[in-house]
Amino acid sequence: MPDQPEIRIQRVYNVDRPTVGKRILVDRVWPRGLTKESLHLDAWMRELGPSDELRTWFGHDPARWEEFQRRYRAELARPDQQARLGELEKMALEGPVTLLYGARDEAHNQAVVLKEVLEERLGLRPPVPFVSPPPRT
């Protein structure tokens, strides 16, 4: 067992960079132009990806990044997602994991948020306080 869990993220199209440990795709939608064989996945945890509604709303617009993070964390707080996060956490405790995603923007995507959430659960970073949304008018 490793001393400290290691969680990395990597874009699936960056084939020139080697990955470490288990390779887990965390996109709800399969990445375009890639075959299952070419990805050499250990798991596809598609349910951990943001909902279709959230993905569509976000549209990888950096101006919506803060709100996307808040909404995605709210989705991940649901009981069914907590169970899935527990599976991913267990994998990270067994050895390094690389969370794979397809988005072009390496700074503004669900894998960034998912990595932070996992690190919080594992005690590797302080938890981000949940901020409720402002009331709708």
Query: The pTM is what?
Result: 0.87
Determine, yes or no, domain membership for 67.
yes
Q: What is the pLDDT, as a whole number, of residue 10?
A: 94
Q: Take residue 38 and report the two structure tokens written for it.
A: 């070419």
Nearest one of 80, 79, 83, 72 to 114, comparing CA atoms:
72
Q: What is the pLDDT, as a whole number, of residue 135?
A: 57
Q: CA–CA separation, 17 vs 10, rounded Å? A: 8
Determine, yes or no, domain membership for 11.
yes
Mean pLDDT by 10 residues, the chain (137 residues): 82 82 95 89 96 96 97 96 96 95 95 96 80 56
Q: What is the pLDDT, as a whole number, of residue 136?
A: 53
Judge whether 101 and 109 are in contact, CB under 8 Å.
Answer: yes
The count of domains in the chain is 1
Nearest one of 135, 117, 113 to 64, comparing CA atoms:
113
Domain containing 54 equals: 7-121
Determine, yes or no, domain membership for 44.
yes
* Residue 24 parent element (H or E): strand 22-25
Determine, yes or no, domain membership for 58.
yes
